[in-house]
Each structure stands twice: as C-alpha cells, then as structure tokens.
Structure 1
Amino acid sequence: MIKALFFDVDGTLVSFNTHKVPESTIEALREAHKCGVKLFTATGRPRQLLNNITEVEDIMDGFILATGAQCVYGDKVVRQDLIPTHEAEAIVDFCNRLDVPAVIVGTKDLQIINRNDSVNHVFYDMLKVTYNKFDVPVEEVIRQGILQITPFLTEDQEHTILPHVPGTTSARWYPAFCDLTSATADKANGIRAIAEHMGINISETMAFGDGGNDLTMLRAAGVGVAMGNALNEVKAHADYITSSVDEDGITNALKHFEII
C-alpha cells in the first residue's frame, strides 16, 4: 500500500509549457490526499524559489528541497546536508575566476554572483521565479551554511572543479547549469529520511520524475514513475512510464496504481 507520494516539480508537477500545475493534477492530488496519502515535493529548487506550486501547496505535507539537501516534514527539518564551507568558498572562487554566474543558496537567504542574461532568462522566463531578496552579501550567505550552489558551468568546467571539492556532488537537469550539493544529499536520501520520520517503509512510497536528478529517488522508492516527457535514461530506470505532464501523466499513474 502506497502511503506517501513524492513529486519532482519542474517537468513533473509543473508543465514547462504553461508553467502551471495542470488542473487534472490538482484534482488527482487533492483526491489522493483526502484518501490519507501524504504528499511531498522532491525538487532541485530551494524553498526560496519554490513559487510555482501554489495550487497544491496547501496539501503538501512536506518538502524535499535543493535536490535533497533539506528535507522538511510539516515545520520540522528532518534532514539537512550542507556543502563543506571551504568547498563552497572554492566553488564561488572558481566561478568568479571564470566570470560564471552562480546561485548561492544558504539556509535562509540566497545570492547570485556574476548575473547575466542567461541567468535572467532561466530564472524569470523559463522557471518564472519571483524571488527578489538579494540584499544579503554572498559572504554572509555562505556563513549561514550552503544547501546548494547552481553555477552556469559547461560540463567540461563542471568536471574541472569537482575533483577539488570531494564533499560535493553535481546533478544536471537542464543543459545550462548544474546543481551542486553535499555529496550526501540526493532525493533518494530525502525520501528515506521522510519515510523514517513517518515510521513507514520506503516500499510504501512512490516517486515521480522526469530529469537526471530524479534517478536516485525513482530507484529508491517503492514505485518509481517516469513522466512521458522524461529523459530516456530516467525512463530506463523507472518501474512505470506514464504520459507527459501535459497529458494527465500524474492522474493516469495514480489511477493505474489504484491510488485514486
């Protein structure tokens, strides 16, 4: 019996075409929640940038954020994995030397270094981010503890810096940038932490995703569901492939598994 559902956000809960949660998904999630199933996001976005699920935010029981670096059940942080401070500083220095943009996500605030048109396009045009609190200096954000750094690095640049920061790992779900987090943070560990806190077995969980940073959780969950619009690599590791986010994919999967 599935007791908890975990959803990637961009490309899974939220359409890249409309930038909204489809109406069919809203109805399906509300029906599942009424049946007692717990609902969670499992996203690469930190909490500060999770502004695109307002239609279902009120029924979310918790959040796996920043690719698993912060896991929240209700108001309680049940797991948090920070990038080692000296490694966060090294990554920031690397980006500054290359004049590469990076989003620095602290436990409270975030800052963007070397902002350019590419960042603005991804943030405001593609992801429709509305966050605008950039008054905290990057040095102070680093002192808070770093959940995630999202640099706009090429894959070659990414492979150059990673050997120098062994406590950090990378996940790429969009070609223009990668998400750097603690090497112990991923969505699978997030699901494990939430399941343990709930007192359920991970076999009683189901996870939905479409991107490369969803692979670990699709393999770890009791049932891993790939969206029809998912990468082929993600589909290859899924237990079930549903239709796309814009073709009632979540609703169809929940009906297939008789959750609703």
Structure 2
Amino acid sequence: MDGTLLNSTGHVSFNNIQGIKKSGIPFTLVSARAPMEMAETIEKLNLIDPQIAFNGGLIFQWVQKGLKVLRSDPLDLTDIKAIVQLVKKDFPNVSCSCYDLNNWYDEKVDRGIRYESKMTGQCPRLIDYTKLLVADNSFYKIMLITFDPNEIERLNQKLIDLKLAGISIKQSGNEYLEITSRKAQKSKGIHYIQNLEKLAIEEMAAFGDGHNDLPMLKSVGTPIVMGNALQEIKPHGKFITKTNDNDGVIFGIENYLK
C-alpha cells in the first residue's frame, strides 16, 4: 500500500479508485499495515476478497460481523520482549511500537509516532509494555522508526545479532524496520490466494516498491515495480510503472495487464 497504491499523503487517489473498480480485476492488498490501517482503502475499493496484513502474518476478510481471520502467524512473546529490551537500552531515540489484531500500542508519542499517525490516520494506545506483553496477548508486528540512516543500519545489525530464529526483519522505505514472525511472508499470502483461486503464476501480477515486496514480486508472473521504488528493487520488475503520486497502479493495470 504505502509507496505503491497510496500516494505520499497516505491516500488512494480518485483515479486509482475508479480505474481499479472499472478494471474488473480481483484485487488483494498485501501490506505490512494492520487491518485497521487498511480498512479505509478496502472500503473505498469495495474489496470483498481475502486481504493480507502484517507482511503475510495475517490473512483476513471484512465481513458484516467484522474481521474474519483466515490465517494467523503472530510473533513469539519472548522474541518481542528481547527486541523491546534491546531498543530501550541501546536505541532510546528509536520509535518502538507494536500491533495486535485490533490495536496499535506504544509507550510514548515521539517524532516517529507522529509521522506514522499522519500517514495512517491512526493513534496508538499508550501503555506500559511490562503490563501489555503478557501470555494471553498475540502480537503481529513490531514497528521501529528512525530518521537517521546510520542508526537504522546499526539497529538492523543489532537485531540480526540477537539470533532470534522466529522473526523476520524487513526495511520499508528509508525510516522503517518492521519485525514480524518468520512465518509471515508476503509470498505466503500470495500462495494462499493462488491456491484459493486455483491460479497459475502467469495469471497473477503484483505491484511493489520496497525490500519487503521482493518475496511477493518473485511469486507472480508479472511483477510491476513503482517508479518511486528503491533503485535496488527496480531490476526485479518485469515493468516499471509511474510513481505512486502519479497513479502508477492504474497506469500499470491499463498499460501492462489489460
């Protein structure tokens, strides 16, 4: 969604909405976002098919009674505690927040949280992590935000050095590290849709712009990379479409798919 379907203000454009509806192509959002952060776009596009959140950690549908979970791969609580402890001790200026099925949590509001709130229109629930991280809660993502490119490299290496076998660390854009279960991969979400709809790889296309999109782009017959994508991502696209601020998704649908 971010950097792809959504423009730089965090919204889906009128042209993308109208074009996607008119295309008649089944459409699944595959995002690192939480379901609550995807809800507005799902509603605007009238999406009724399975949707993929938390980089594949949750596959769900919106139904009349609310969110219906189709597949769930949360993080291990021990891993979450180790990561939170590391960030608090060695990277106190990094925003560290986490998500369960329906909520976004943080201990403080800082620059990173304000930035994310502006992008998603959501506000975190402030809570002491020692009270939150207990056995009967399931969490799907830890989000770390820093605007210092050197710090994000050091943080990523420190997380790798923890040697937590159950986690997957993905960089999203220049400011985000997003940690989900190792079982949570966008490619697994794609395979779920593929098996559900009995599709051949050649019948599937995907749009992406960042590192966490690579497993997804490699899982479809027509990978399309956004014009605003990171330079190292562009070679992985069969086509390069316009930027997210220039309706690159509907341009790609109309010019490379239809």
* Bin for the TM-score computed over the shorter chain: 0.7 to 0.9
Range 133-142 or range 83-92, more displaced = 133-142
Q: Distance in 2 between the 1:48 and 1:59 partners?
A: 14
Among 142, 150, 162, the residue aligned to 1:149: 142
Deviation per residue, 1:113-152 (Å, 9 max, x gap): 34322321x2134x1x332361665443654212110123
Q: Distance in 2 between the 1:175 and 1:233 partners?
A: 13
Q: Distance in 2 between the 1:191 and 1:44 partners?
A: 14
How do 1:172-211 residues align onto structure 2 when only pairs under 5 Å count? 172-211=171-210
Is 1:113 aligned to 2:107, yes or no?
Answer: yes
Structure 2 unaligned segments of length 5 or more: list them. Answer: 147-151
Which runs of 4 or more aligned residues in structure 1 lie more than 6 Å from their structure 2 counterparts after TM superposition? none
CA contact 1:109–1:141 (8 Å) conserved in 2: no
Structure 1 residue 89: Cα displacement: 1.3
> Does the residue aligned with 2:154 lie in a helix, a strand or coil?
helix
- Report the equivalent of 1:231: 230
Q: Distance in 1 between the 2:126 and 2:256 partners?
A: 47
Summarize the Cα distance change of 1:141–1:65 in structure 2 as closer, same or farther, 3 Å threshold.
farther
CA contact 1:149–1:181 (8 Å) conserved in 2: yes
Range 166-175 or range 200-209, more displaced = 200-209
How do 1:33-72 residues align onto structure 2 when only pairs under 5 Å count? 35=24, 37-50=25-38, 53=41, 56-72=44-60
Identity %: 23
Q: Distance in 1 between the 2:103 and 2:12 partners?
A: 26
Structure 1 residue 54: Cα displacement: 6.2
Q: Distance in 2 between the 1:255 and 1:131 partners?
A: 32
Structure 1 unaligned segments of length 5 or more: list them. Answer: 1-8
Could you tell me which amino acid in structure 1 is paired with residue 72 of structure 2? Q
Q: Distance in 1 between the 2:169 and 2:100 partners?
A: 17
Could you tell me which amino acid in structure 1 is paired with residue 109 of structure 2? R
CA contact 1:79–1:193 (8 Å) conserved in 2: no
> Does the residue aligned with 1:93 lie in a helix, a strand or coil?
helix
How do 1:55-134 residues align onto structure 2 when only pairs under 5 Å count? 56-75=44-63, 76-98=68-90, 99=92, 100-120=94-114, 122-125=115-118, 127=119, 129-132=120-123, 134=125
Q: Which has the higher contact order (CA 8 A, sep 6+)?
A: 1
Summarize the Cα distance change of 1:251–1:177 in structure 2 as closer, same or farther, 3 Å threshold.
closer
CA contact 1:14–1:245 (8 Å) conserved in 2: yes
Q: Distance in 2 between the 1:132 and 1:29 partners?
A: 29
CA contact 2:168–2:182 (8 Å) conserved in 1: yes
> Does the residue aligned with 2:227 lie in a helix, a strand or coil?
coil
- Report the equivalent of 1:162: 160
- Report the equivalent of 1:4: none
Deviation per residue, 1:16-43 (Å, 9 max, x gap): 0x432222211210012xx3x3111111
Summarize the Cα distance change of 1:118–1:205 in structure 2 as closer, same or farther, 3 Å threshold.
same
Q: Aligned Cα RMSD in Å?
A: 2.3
Q: Distance in 2 between the 1:144 and 1:257 partners?
A: 44
